[in-house]
Structure 1
Amino acid sequence: MKKKLDLLEELQGIDQTIDGKKAEQTTLKADITELEQALASVQSALTGHQTQMTELRRERADLDAAMHTEQENIKRSETNMKEIRTNKEFQAIGREITAARKQVSDLEEQQLQIDTRIEELQATIDTCQSELATLADSTKNGSDEKQAAITALQDIIDAATAKRDVIVKELSSNLVRRYTQLRDQRRGQAVAEARDGSCMGCNMQLPPQLYNTLFKGDEMYFCPHCQRILILKQEPAAAAE
C-alpha cells in the first residue's frame, strides 16, 4: 500500500508540474497576443490616417480642378469683354468676372486649409510609421523569445507526461480514475499529507482513531472532510513525541 501511496504522491507532483507549466504557457501565449494586438492597433491607426490622407488629396485635386475651371472662365470673360458693344453686356460680364474671382479666392482659402491639414496629417503618419517600425521589431523579438520559452516548457511537459504514463501503468485503472476525479473536484490536489492530527489539504482535524490508523499503512484512507487521499510522512516515534 505504501508503494501505491508513494506513486500517487509522485503522480500528483508530476500533474501539478504539468499544470504549472501549462499555466505558464497560457500566460506567455496571452503576452504574445497582447503584443500582436498592440501592433495591429498601431497598424490600424496608420491605415486610417493613410485613408484620410487619400481623401484629403482627392479633395485637393477637386479644388485644383475647380480652380482651373474658374480661372479659365475669367480668361474667357476677359476675352469676351473686348468684343462687347453695349454697356449692359459689359456690366454683365463684369459681374461674371467678379463672381469668378470671388470663387477663386474662396477656393484658394480652401486649398490653404487642406494643405495645412495634409501637412499635419503627414507628420502624424510619419510618427506612426516610425512607431510601427519600432513596435514591429520589438513585437517580433518579444514573440520569438516567448515562443522559445513556450517550446522549452513544452519539452518539460512532454518529459513529465512520459514519466506520468509510466506511473499510471503501475496503478489500477479504478485508483487512477478516483485520483483524477478528486483532482478535478479539489483544485488539482487529490492527495494530502496528514500531519499533527490534521489534513493538510483542508486543514481540518482528523478523527484521532483515523489518524492513528494511518501509521499502520495497511490501507488507503480518505479525509472525512475533503475526501482527499491521506498520506503520512511522519515516523511513529515523531508522532508520539
Structure 2
Amino acid sequence: MKKNLETLYELQEIDLKLDGIEGVRNSLLAEIDTLDQKVAEARQELLAREESCASLDAEKEGLEVTLATEAENIARSEARLKEIKTQKEYLAVSKEITAARKMKTELEEQLLQKISLADELKGEIAERKSNLDALEGNIAAQKAEVQVKVDALERDITVDQTSRDEKMKTLPPAVVKRYAQLRKMRRGLAVVEARDGSCLGCNINLPPQLYNTLFRGDELITCPHCQRMVVYRQPQQG
C-alpha cells in the first residue's frame, strides 16, 4: 500500500504539472488566434474599401454614360435650332437645351466628386495593402516564435503523459476511479500531504488515530473534512 500511496502522490505531481503546461499551451494558442484575428480584421477592412472603390467606379461609369447621352441630346437640339421656323418652337427647344446644359454641368460636378473620392480611396487602399503586407510578415514571425514554444510544451506533455500512463497502470482501478472523481471535485487536487497532524488540503487537524494510520502507510486514508486522499511523506533529509 505504501507503494500505491507514493505512486498516487507522484501521479498528482504529474497531473498538476500537466495542468500548468496545458494552461500555458492554451494561452499561447489563444495568442496565435489573436494574431490571426488581427490579420483577418485588416483584410476585412481592406476588402470593404476595395468594395467601396468598385462601387464608386461603377457610379463613375454610370455618370459618364449619362453625360454622353446628355451631350448627344444637346447636340441634336442645337442642330434642330437651325431648322426651326416658328418663334414658339425655337423658344421651346432653347429651353430644352438650357435645361440639358444645366443637367450636364451638375453631372460633371458629380463625376468630379466621384473621381476625387475614388482617387483618395485608391490611395488609402494602396497604403492599407502595404500595411497589411508588413503586418502579415510581422505576425508570421510572431506566430513562428509562439509555435516553437507550443511545440516544446507539447513534447513535454507527451513525455509526462507517458509517465502518467505508466503510473496509472500500477494502481488498482478503484483507486484510479476515486482519484479521477476527486480531481474533478477538488479543482485538480485529489491527493494532499498530512503534516504536523493536519491535512494540507483544507488545513484542518486530523484525528490522532487517523494520523497514526497515515504514519504507518498501510491503507488509503481520506480526509474527513475535504475528502481528499491524504498521504504522509517522510521529511527530506538535509
TM-score (norm 2): 0.92
2:129 match:
129
> How far off is 1:229 after superposition?
1.3
DSSP 3-state at the match of 1:50: helix
The whole-number CA distance in structure 2 between the counterparts of 1:122 and 1:169 is 66
The equivalences for 1:44-193 within 5 A come to 44-193=44-193
* Distance in 2 (alpha carbons) for counterparts of 1:86 and 1:126: 59
* CA shift for structure 1 position 234: 4.4
Paired residues, what number?
235
Three-state SS of the structure 1 residue aligned to 2:201 is coil
User: The residue matched to 1:193 in structure 2 has which SS?
Assistant: strand
Amino acid at match of 1:143: K
- 1:192-211 equivalences in 2 (<5 Å): 192-211=192-211
Using the TM superposition, name which of 134-143 and 54-63 deviates more: 134-143
What residue identity is the alignment partner of 2:25? Answer: Q
Q: CA deviation at 1:217?
A: 2.2
Contact 1:195 1:234 in 2 (8 A): no
Deviation at 1:18, TM superposition (A): 1.7
Q: Deviations over 1:123-171 (max 9, x none)?
A: 3322321222122112222222222222211111111111112212222
> For 1:175 and 1:233, how far apart are their aligned partners in 2?
19
Q: What is the letter of the counterpart of residue 183 of structure 1?
A: R
- Alpha-carbon RMSD across the aligned residues, in angstroms, is 1.6
When structure 1 is superposed on structure 2, of 141-150 and 87-96 the one drifting more is 141-150
After TM superposition, list the pairs within 5 Å mapping 1:8-19 onto structure 2: 8-19=8-19
Conserved 8 A contact 1:74-1:100: yes
Aligned residue for 2:5? 5
Distance 1:107 1:113 in 2: 10
**Counterparts of 1:16-55 in structure 2 under 5 Å?**
16-55=16-55
- Structure 2 equivalent of residue 220 of structure 1: 220
Conservation of the 8 A alpha-carbon contact between 1:194 and 1:232: yes
Q: Tell me how far apart the structure 2 counterparts of residues 134 and 219 of structure 1 sit (CA, whole Å).
A: 64
Aligned-residue offset at 1:119: 2.6
Residue 231 of structure 2 aligns to a residue whose secondary structure is strand
Question: For 2:184 and 2:64, how far apart are their aligned partners in 1?
Answer: 73
Query: Which residue type is aligned with residue 179 of structure 1?
Result: Y
Is the Cα contact below 8 Å between 1:18 and 1:157 reproduced in 2? Answer: yes
CA distance in structure 1 between the aligned counterparts of 2:209 and 2:200, rounded to whole angstroms: 17
Structure 1: runs of 5+ lacking an equivalent: 236-241
Distance, in Å, in 2 between the alignment partners of 1:25 and 1:183 is 20
What secondary structure does 2:227 align onto?
A: coil
Return 5+ residue gaps in structure 2 as ranges: none
What fraction of aligned residue pairs are identical, expressed as a percent? Answer: 45
Of stretches 124-133 and 198-207 in structure 1, the one that deviates more from structure 2 is 124-133
